[in-house]
A and B are shown apart, each in its own frame.
Chain A
């Protein structure tokens, strides 16, 4: 060996030091996803978002097992009650009959003694006929006893009309129906001839105690104030107290109830199911179309790419929401239609994003290597290229779900809430709409607006933060971009 600078063997292979990677160059070892997770964990807002999303999803998915009330179960007699309202537990089936099973509200045992204390009102049904604008006949339904007049003007008394469909009209107080006189104005405009059925509700209430003995959930004995009766119909409105084996039975509505007495918490959780379902399914639809379309376009390149992307450009310029509205209005609001309609709007962006990724990926060596080893175009596309776009796809998916939820709720808000087999499905949007509608002029029933809004906003907020965080984590260079 000669000294430095002297002639020697051929120049060695390693590159000159100037080209060596710098100290801060890329470090290998941890995978992309593990790295991203590490970065995501440092982003507090995104992690909070993640937990909220996970919690919301779990709670919504498990709603049927978590919630005490069927969200459609109406307790009309309690009406809209503020959050935290507590009232005596009522059987879902308000009829108790000896020998028949008693459907008991949650938390109650199938055996033992249940005591109901009611404030019963005395109600009598009457039939009123009107002819030529005058009351021609007043008759007590039971026993068909004809009367000259029906007086409900005493304090606490009221007349309630039983409508055609069996529901009850409003309480009319201070009215008196007299034969030969015109029908009191309180009944509203009627034809010149009409027949009405009304119930006279007497103000004086009577406290009554029912005792039911249950064995295996079946009513074995029933007594009214100590006297055995075969059957009793209990109105939730009158119920003061229910106790089973001496223990009081009540139930609470943590978030209150809506105008029909439906439990708001259950409604929100079930609403979340609908919203999330729509969000996820429509996103999956858009994902399938968008990824395949974008990947094909990007991979094919050239003319095909130009044409495919021109189509996307054109479709992008169409105000889709209006077409979706027309579609829902005209072809029914079935949830399947909605999935397709919303998914069809969203795939455009996904296609663009995936195409961009594929364009840059397909120049990489590993694609060439795969081609050399005889993999066909479809194989390269689906086994090599598409899996490598998963980073952006995941990010964009997290951002699409809230976008879709938002759109569905928008549709629900303008009155196009989805249906499944003709049954209306009330998503968060529909609940918010209901909240707005039932606020009252003084805003006194604000909980009906606030809670659904909060649930929805928290979820959307979290999803957006999570999406943002994921993007930053997966692509630190892009940090902060929108």
Chain B
């Protein structure tokens, strides 16, 4: 995938039309924490976002920032001790998933909202044939049995491009390559016709060439079906090629949310900026310097006070350490959680603010 064509965009993806269609999924002020021997780990601290029909939303951020926890909480896949959800709602087509009974939740899982996990090597049951793992979902959500279910499974395998699906349907997972297994996972997730797919780093564990194939497949299927998707990834190149909107997370909070092109052209949050600078980009000027993000993400054992990014931020102000910035539109209507207005990587000089603060901090950071 060389030049990812900016998607001609399912109309729903365009920001202006958002309110016209009710969102498929609306997460509001979600908090998730884990009870551990050493106290609570606050993994998700007030996350709010929406997934609109037919749209594909990217969830990006450093390792440990809470992407997987957020997505697994949507399907309530985290075990109850130690996981606690003290606050928040997750509305799927109006119903709060956190309030559903187990029985109702089971109908959502797999049937309406499907999930693909990171590691295809361990995510398939080694003791069951591939076909059986597909048919159980088919039986459960489509009501087909026996030969009909099997035929549907073969079809699903063919759809994801597995050669010889009639024989592969009887294979055990260990007989398939990694890429094939991830295709099986995709087939399994999509066979029931869900309208939201959550893909948690679906290609991280695969070779680069296979990654491209799998992503192409996912993009094709998503468009064909008009399904919504949440794609969790580290890989900003993937985001550019697949998604319409991006949510950037840091330490359990959303720090910026923007249409994909806006985000890449003009990040408005220092963390997003740093993130973009830390990875090579094909479209960037040659010779652009890669700049890693200094420091470590904060420990999540205390609920954060002030901006979590403050210790690593090159634009940090005094108030950043005491006041928490919330996700708000800036002057241009772009959503970000920061006190410093950024334009094209530089702080906009505020009325009384020290204009030199940014560059000075930057210089200090760069000299190391």
Contact B62 A17 (CB under 8 A): yes
Stretch with Cβ within 8 A of B (4 or more), from A19-27, A357-365, A373-381: A19-27
Specify the chain A residue showing the minimal Cβ separation from B294. A14
Task: Give the chain B neighbours of A3 by CB distance below 8 A.
Answer: 345-346, 359, 362
Q: Which 5 A-B pairs have the closest CB atoms?
A: A22-B64, A17-B293, A23-B299, A8-B289, A16-B292
Task: Give the chain B neighbours of A12 by CB distance below 8 A.
Answer: 291-292, 368
Stretch with Cβ within 8 A of A (4 or more), from B132-140, B156-164, B278-286, B325-333: B278-286
Q: Which residues from 125 to 174 on chain B have a C-beta closer than 8 Å to any C-beta of chain A?
A: none
Specify the chain B residue showing the minimal Cβ separation from A27. B38
* CB contact under 8 A between A21 and B296, given known A5-B277, A5-B288, A5-B345: yes
Specify the chain B residue showing the minimal Cβ separation from A9. B289
Q: Which residues from 40 to 83 on chain A have a C-beta closer than 8 Å to any C-beta of chain B?
A: 42
Task: Give the chain A neighbours of B345 by CB distance below 8 A.
Answer: 3-5
Contact B366 A18 (CB under 8 A): no
Does B63 reach chain A (CB closer than 8 Å)? yes
Chain B min CB distance to A407 (Å)? 36
Chain B min CB distance to A26 (Å)? 13
Contact A1 B62 (CB under 8 A): no
Task: Give the chain A neighbours of B63 by CB distance below 8 A.
Answer: 18-20, 22
Taking a contact as CB atoms closer than 8 A, the residue among A4, A6, A23, A42 that contacts B300 in the complex is A23
Taking a contact as CB atoms closer than 8 A, the residue among A11, A16, A19, A42 that contacts B289 in the complex is A11
Contact B234 A18 (CB under 8 A): yes
Interface size on B, residues (CB 8 A): 36
Q: Which residues from 244 to 297 on chain B have a C-beta closer than 8 Å to any C-beta of chain A?
A: 273-274, 277-279, 284-285, 287-297
Chain B min CB distance to A217 (Å)? 62
Specify the chain A residue showing the minimal Cβ separation from B368. A12
Does A302 reach chain B (CB closer than 8 Å)? no
Contact A18 B297 (CB under 8 A): no
Chain A min CB distance to B84 (Å)? 16
Q: Measured between alpha carbons, how far is A94 from B3 in the docked complex, in Å? A: 109
Does A7 reach chain B (CB closer than 8 Å)? yes
* CB contact under 8 A between A6 and B234, given known A18-B63, A20-B296: no
Does B363 reach chain A (CB closer than 8 Å)? yes
Does A188 reach chain B (CB closer than 8 Å)? no
Residue among B64, B299, B363 with max Cβ neighbours from chain A (10 Å): B64
Q: Measured between alpha carbons, how far is A3 from B277 in the docked complex, in Å? A: 12
Does B298 reach chain A (CB closer than 8 Å)? yes
Contact A11 B290 (CB under 8 A): yes
Q: Measured between alpha carbons, how far is A171 from B366 in the docked complex, in Å? A: 107
Does B80 reach chain A (CB closer than 8 Å)? no
Does B41 reach chain A (CB closer than 8 Å)? yes
Specify the chain B residue showing the minimal Cβ separation from A19. B63
Specify the chain B residue showing the minimal Cβ separation from A10. B289
Q: Which residues from 6 to 43 on chain B have a C-beta closer than 8 Å to any C-beta of chain A?
A: 37, 41
Task: Give the chain B neighbours of A422 by CB distance below 8 A.
Answer: none
Does B104 reach chain A (CB closer than 8 Å)? no
* CB contact under 8 A between A23 and B289, given known A4-B345, A5-B277: no
Residue among B292, B294, B346 with max Cβ neighbours from chain A (10 Å): B292
Does A15 reach chain B (CB closer than 8 Å)? yes
Q: Measured between alpha carbons, how far is A20 from B294 in the docked complex, in Å? A: 10
Does B367 reach chain A (CB closer than 8 Å)? yes
Contact B296 A6 (CB under 8 A): no
Taking a contact as CB atoms closer than 8 A, the residue among B274, B293, B297, B366 that contacts A22 in the complex is B297
Q: Measured between alpha carbons, how far is A110 from B62 in the docked complex, in Å? A: 84
**Contact pattern, B 47-83, Cβ under 8 Å of A = 1, otherwise 0:** 0000000000000001110000000000000000000
Task: Give the chain B neighbours of A19 by CB distance below 8 A.
Answer: 63
Taking a contact as CB atoms closer than 8 A, the residue among B64, B287, B291, B368 that contacts A23 in the complex is B64
* CB contact under 8 A between A23 and B296, given known A3-B359, A16-B279: yes
Task: Give the chain A neighbours of B367 by CB distance below 8 A.
Answer: 1
Chain B min CB distance to A432 (Å)? 41
Q: Measured between alpha carbons, how far is A344 from B291 in the docked complex, in Å? A: 62
> Beyond A17-B62, A17-B292, A23-B298: 14 further Cβ-contacts under 8 Å?
A1-B367, A4-B345, A5-B277, A5-B285, A6-B289, A7-B287, A9-B289, A15-B292, A16-B292, A17-B294, A18-B234, A18-B278, A23-B296, A23-B301
Q: Measured between alpha carbons, how far is A20 from B295 in the docked complex, in Å? A: 9
Specify the chain A residue showing the minimal Cβ separation from B41. A24
Contact A5 B292 (CB under 8 A): no
Chain B min CB distance to A421 (Å)? 53
Contact B359 A16 (CB under 8 A): no
Specify the chain B residue showing the minimal Cβ separation from A5. B288
Contact A4 B291 (CB under 8 A): yes
**Contact pattern, B 325-354, Cβ under 8 Å of A = 1, otherwise 0:** 000000000000000000001100000000
Q: Measured between alpha carbons, how far is A18 from B275 in the docked complex, in Å? A: 9
